[in-house]
Amino acid sequence: MKYSFGIDVGGTNIKIGLFEITNFSLIEKKEVPTPRYNQAVSIFETSKKLMDELLKQHQLTYQDVHGVGFAVPCPVKNGYVVKCPNLKWETLDVISSMRSLLEPHVKVVVSNDANIAAYGENYSLEIPLQNAIFYTLGTGVGGGIIIEGKIVEGRTGAGGEIGHMPIFEGTEICGCGRTGCLEQVCGTKAILGYAKELSTVHESSIDFKELTVKKIFDAAKDNDPVGFRVLDRVAKYIALSASILSVSLDPDVIIIGGGIAKAGQILIDQILKHYRMYARFGTVDIPFVLAKTGNDAGIIGAAKYTI
């Protein structure tokens, strides 16, 4: 049997999974805090230490290892990161940095974390598809695009940055430096802000003293006027952006993930309602599904990407 590691590197934690790749099954996973010092070196040393521990624990050696896949929170092109503020990386060859600690036969791959999550989510469908668009909705809005079974990085690694599609007329500056981004209406900050704004003109059962996205969407399920309006606005802009992507890429499926997607089927239903008004041609029938791997999407996609 052969094995691969999937490693999801975040600004707060590093998650690692050991996978048997013949039948592609997760053997074990671990999570540790991301080291804060000298991250261009320490992240790879920490990853190697975790791999050593998992191999020893399961009585394996590096001769049993096929590959190591990395998901990282920044644009990547051909294994190379120009700048990754969350990890204090600049002009870093991720593949070479990891490969220098491993035996020569071990394959090393890397891609942006949202792209890798898209890869993992698509693989985890009942029947994996060749062409998929993945939205990850949380503090920000990210995404990944799979075309003919391959991650689309684009020329500079910015492929799949769905959250920064210009989607409405706005004046507030986004974190990317522009205005009107999808993230500015579908990210956590926007959702909370819109709920508070609506509460001044609509009665609501929501507790605004300790406001969370979950509380808003739970209220939407009970047809609370504020909760439902907030959810409907999120659904509308996701649908509009998806209709634009669909006539460009014509995917087999659109997968909705991230913490906000925990709203569940009510979010999918509202997206579809708007999407069918915006969509054109045969793209009207593209299915929308909820992501199902949760926090494991990164390690699944990273390990699968090595095969």
Instruction: Pick out the chain residues at pLDDT < 50.
Output: none
What pLDDT does 20 receive? 98
Q: In sequence order, what E strands does the chain have?
A: 3-9, 13-20, 25-33, 65-72, 80-84, 89-93, 107-112, 132-137, 141-147, 150-151, 253-257, 288-290
Q: Are residues 205 and 89 located together in one domain of the fold?
A: no
Q: Are residues 94 and 36 in the same domain?
A: yes
CATH classification at residue 218: 3.30.420.40
User: What does the pLDDT look like over 145-162, one tens digit per residue?
Assistant: 999 999 999 998 889 999
Domain that residue 21 falls in: 3-121+296-304
CA 289 to chain centroid: 15
pLDDT at res. 186 = 95
Signed CA dihedral, 140, 145, 108, 21: sign only: positive
Whether 141 and 239 share a structural domain? yes
pLDDT score recorded for residue 294: 84
Q: Do 151 and 288 reside in the same domain of the chain?
A: yes
pTM: 0.90
Are both 140 and 83 inside the same structural domain? no
Is there a single domain that holds both residue 60 and residue 184?
no
8 with 117, same domain?
A: yes
Determine the pLDDT at residue 86.
Answer: 82
Q: How many domains does the chain have?
A: 2
Same domain, 279 and 163: yes
The C-alpha atoms of residue 58 and residue 102 are separated, in whole angstroms, by 18
Same domain, 156 and 261: yes
Residues 106 and 38 in one domain: yes
pLDDT at 46: 97
